[in-house]
Each structure stands twice: as C-alpha cells, then as structure tokens.
Amino acid sequence: MKQLERASIIRIVSDMVKADAIIDMQEIVYLNCIRQKYNIKHEDEVVAETITLAEAFQTLNDASVSLKQDLWGDFKGMVLSDNACSREEALFLIAIVSCLSERFPNNSMVYSVELPENIKLDNSQVLYVEGEYYKETNREILVHYREILNELRLIGFNFVYIPKVGEHYRALAQEDLHTLISFLYPSATTAQIELFAKQLMALSTSDFCKNEIVGKMKMDGLAHSLPSIMFRIGISSIKGRNIDNFLVMSIEEEALVAVRRFVDTFVSMYKPRILNPVYEGKQRFVYNGFYKQIFDSFIYKKGIRSSVVIDLMHGDILLPEADSKITGLHRREKALYALFLLESSSGGINFNKPNGVKSLDKYKHRIAAIQRKYEIIYENFGGERTKAPQIELPENRLPMISLIKRQFRQLGDLLNQADDYLVQRNMFGNYCVTIPKELCLCYDPVTARVCSFEESDFWGRLLAM
C-alpha cells in the first residue's frame, strides 16, 4: 500500500472521529486496530494532516475493489465502536458508501473548499445543482416537488431548489418584496432594489451554480455539473485553516427515486427525532445558508456572471447584471471589442497570414470582410468610416486590446471568471471573448429592447456578411 493511501485512510478516520465533537476512547481503541491492519506509521499521519478530505477520497477511489470493501467495513465499524451513530457520522458514512462502494449506483464526489468569510452555510440544507439546464430532471423535480421536500424534511433536511425560491418571491407583492430587500440591506438604493428584485425572481440553478458555487466557493468541478444534490458533510482542520467538505451526488434516475435512496440510506444509519423547523411557506422566507447567499450575490456585487450589452445608441458597453459599464475606451476600442464579441460565436478572428497562394487569397478576402464590419461598427459608435484603424496591423490592434484589458481589470473582482470577458487568443490562435454566447447581447433601438445579435436587424446583417 502506498503512503498516500495510508495517509488518506487516516484523514478520513480522523475527520469521522471528530465529526460529532465527541471523542470516545472506544474510538481510539478501534483507531489503533486500523493502524495495525493497514500498517499506518507516524509519518503517514503527518502527511494526512496536509491533505484534504476530497483528496483522500479521490486517492482511495482509485484503490482496488478489495481494499475499498475492507475500508467500508472498517469505517462503519469505527463509527459504531462507541455503540452510537450521530447525524454527522451518518453523513460521513453516506459519503463513504456513495464514493467507495460499488453498491451505490450514483456517481458521487467529495469537494473540500475554504469558504470566504462572508459565506455561512447551514448543515441542514440540500441544494440541487446543475451546470446547465436539464429539462427532464427539472420537470421531474417540479412534478414531485412536495414529495421530495417532505422526504428530506422527515430526516431534518431542507431542500433548496432555486426555481422554487424565485417562484416564492414572485408570489409576493412587488411593494412587499422591495420592503423586504430594503430591510435586509438598508444601504441599497431604489434602483438597486428594483434590479435585485428582478434578478431574484429570474434566478436559475445554472446561474447560481456558476456565480456562487463555482465563482465564489471555487468548486470548479461543478462548472459543467450533471443534475446533482449537494450538502455539507463536515469541516476539516488543515494547518490551522477550516476546510468545508461537501458531498455531491449525481441524479442518474428519476429525481424522487434518487432522493428516496439517499433518505433510506441515511435512516438506516441514523434515526432523526425532529423535523427540520427551518422551511419556507406562505409569507415566510428563509434567510440563512444558500438562501442568504442568493440575496448577498446581488447586493454585494462580487463575482457576478453578467451579460455584455453593446449599446450603439448611447455609445456604451454595459454589464447590466453587475450594474456597471466599461469606461475609458475610445470608439475605436469599443468597436473592436464589439467586433470580437460578435465574431466569437463562430470561433473568433485569426490574423495569422498563411503561406500558400490560395490560402493567402482566402485570408485577404476574409480580413477585408472583417475590416468592413469593423468600419461599420466604428461608424455607428460615432466615428467616420474612412478614419477607422486598420485592425489587421498589429501596431494598431494590440494597443487597443491592451487598453480594453486594462479597463476590464479595473472592475476588480466584480465579475465572476473575469478573464472570460477579455479579448484573448485561444488554442487555435484566434482572438475571441470566451463568455457564453447567451451573454453576448445588444440594444436594438428599433424594438427598444436588449436581445441577441441574431435577433437584431443591424447586427444580423453584419453576421451575414
């Protein structure tokens, strides 16, 4: 057995012993048996202090099937060595059986993160997460929502399903919602309150996942998450730092079936005595854990995943969800950024000249079309078409890109994954902006609304050139 495997065993056992804040001497006796069985030395325990619970699970997940079977029995014996299984220990056992046992059909993974100080989560909350919208899973949750909610409440958990949170606030009179927001955040302006209320009611699970779970909690592995449920299983101490541990269990069958399997597994280990008293109801709103994080994500505007709106009428590049706009740019830079935003959906713009004669002819034809687009956009930002810079020339293009980067950088940590908003060269050598296509928008003066480039007559014609 490798040292990292031995250290991983001790990491998991150590966190299990400390999980319920009570250390029973029977547990220490059992711990000594585990040390002997797996030949764990003092040096292994020193290494264990430096690795996270997530790293420990990942290491043991790659171990042999026979070792994982032995570990499941030994970990379970460890928990029951004091003739009691606490709620915290039961959650650990669920993590072990779902991550290390072949008997559990769902793919599960433990995440260990150091949370920002302003994020305080509730151990009783189970959050539904997804990296993008999964129609069938969401349909199943909506059909069986009350059953899922009640199943989890019976074992002391509160199910947090973002679309239902938004629906709950939409049911409140607008004046009452504004009053509630104003009470919770007295420093918010009237305009901020109105924008916040609108965003709160339109919030989606994938947006919350990208902005909060990935952006602020740094759980990057969930950026493209399949439909899953997520909950906290405990806290580890690593070199004086508190590290929160979460279990994420994928939903690979009907949502209600997956939840019932989780509930049945939990009840087989621990018998809750009370229902979870913290729940939403008519005229009743939860304000802790993930619920509070939803509010804070809008009021304390850091890590916002905003759209970019090109407003030719007013000459602005707007970040509406972040309540901000890009300043300090001349129309030449604004037009260039708008062009890259437009072309990014088709892979960006490559300015590298090819060597072959035929390829060079194609290149010149394409660059001429790109230059014409740029001149049209430049003109619509208020310039003269004939005075638009030749963007094929690096001495013209590169200083403009550099200034665009500096102005975006001035926003600090306002934007989530801020580098995605910059003009950068991708692996193919193309200049592009890597935010999703649905975040690249424009203001259409004809319809007086914000829409995609394809929906705008002006930008649609440019796309077709």
pLDDT in tens, 12-53: 999 888 887 777 788 888 888 999 999 999 999 999 999 999
**C-alpha–C-alpha distance, residues 157 and 278, integer Å:** 9
How many residues are there in the chain?
A: 465
- Report yes or no: 196 and 299 within 8 Å, Cβ to Cβ: yes
Distance of CA 22 to the CA centre of its chain: 34
What is the average pLDDT across 108-112? Answer: 93
pLDDT of residue 123: 82
Q: Which residues contact 295 (CB under 8 A, 6 or more apart)?
A: 181, 184, 185, 200, 287
**C-alpha–C-alpha distance, residues 113 and 381, integer Å:** 45
pLDDT of residue 388: 95
What is the average pLDDT across 4-9? Answer: 93
The partner residues of 441 in beta bridges, in order of sequence, read 309, 452
- Report yes or no: 206 and 71 within 8 Å, Cβ to Cβ: no
pLDDT of residue 181: 85
Q: At residue 163, does pLDDT exceed 70?
A: yes
Question: What backbone phi and psi angles, to 5 degrees, belong to 219?
Answer: -95, 70
- Report yes or no: 378 and 388 within 8 Å, Cβ to Cβ: yes
- Report yes or no: 231 and 127 within 8 Å, Cβ to Cβ: yes
pLDDT of residue 200: 78
pLDDT of residue 400: 96
CA angle 352, 358, 363 (to 5 degrees): 35
**C-alpha–C-alpha distance, residues 324 and 437, integer Å:** 20
pLDDT of residue 256: 94
What is the average pLDDT across 308-316? Answer: 94
What is the average pLDDT across 304-319? Answer: 91
pLDDT of residue 382: 94
Would you place residue 268 in the very low, low, confident or very high pLDDT band (cuts 50, 70, 90)? Answer: confident
pLDDT of residue 85: 79
- Report yes or no: 49 and 83 within 8 Å, Cβ to Cβ: no
pLDDT of residue 105: 65
For 376-398, the pLDDT digits (tens) are: 999 999 999 999 999 999 999 99
| Owner of token pair 């305009």 | 191
pLDDT of residue 459: 94
What is the average pLDDT across 429-444? Answer: 90
What is the average pLDDT across 146-172? Answer: 88
CA 57 vs CA 11, 12, 36, 245: distances in Å? 9, 8, 21, 11
What is the average pLDDT across 386-412? Answer: 93
For 188-228, the pLDDT digits (tens) are: 778 778 877 887 777 789 888 888 888 888 898 898 899 99
Q: At residue 327, does pLDDT exceed 80?
A: yes
- Report yes or no: 317 and 338 within 8 Å, Cβ to Cβ: yes
**C-alpha–C-alpha distance, residues 166 and 198, integer Å:** 10
- Among 110-114, 237-241, 339-343, which is the least confidently predicted range? 237-241
pLDDT of residue 218: 87
pLDDT above 70: percentage of residues in the chain: 92
Average pLDDT over the chain, rounded to an integer: 87
| Owner of token pair 């003109």 | 379
**Burial of residue 186 (number of CB atoms within 10 Å: 0-12, 13-18, 19+):** exposed
**C-alpha–C-alpha distance, residues 103 and 64, integer Å:** 15
CATH class of 3-103: mainly alpha
CA dihedral 213, 218, 220, 226 (to 10 degrees): -20
Nearest to 265 by CA among 157, 143, 158, 137: 157
The upper half-sphere exposure of residue 182, i.e. CA atoms within 13 Å in the direction of its Cβ, equals: 10
pLDDT above 90: percentage of residues in the chain: 43
The upper half-sphere exposure of residue 53, i.e. CA atoms within 13 Å in the direction of its Cβ, equals: 28
**C-alpha–C-alpha distance, residues 109 and 132, integer Å:** 19
Tokens found for residue 167: 């629906």
Would you place residue 280 in the very low, low, confident or very high pLDDT band (cuts 50, 70, 90)? Answer: low
Give this prediction's pTM.
Answer: 0.66
Domain ranges in the chain are: 3-103, 112-299, 308-464
CB atoms within 10 A of CB 355: 6
pLDDT of residue 295: 65
